[in-house]
Amino acid sequence: MNSLPKDHHVKLPQRNPGAKISAEEKAEWLLLKNALKEFRDSARQAAEKPESFWENQRQKVLACCERKAPVRHQRFIWSWATALVLVVLGIMVLVERQQPVKPDFAAGYDQQLLLDIDRTLDRDVPAALEPGSLLPEEIFPTGRITAAP
> Any long-range contacts for 140-146 (C-beta under 8 Å, 24+ apart)?
none
Contacts of 131 (CB under 8 A, 6+ apart): none
Kind and range of the H or E run holding 138: helix 135-139
Q: Dump pLDDT digits (tens) for 17-31.
A: 667 778 888 899 899
Q: Is the pTM of this model over 0.85?
A: no
**Inter-CA distances, 85 with 74, 105, 107, 109, Å:** 16, 42, 45, 44
Angle at 70 between CA 66 and CA 75, to 5 degrees: 150
pLDDT, tens digit, 9 for 90 and up, residues 89-124:
888 888 776 666 676 666 667 777 888 888 887 777
Report yes or no: 30 and 12 within 8 Å, Cβ to Cβ.
no
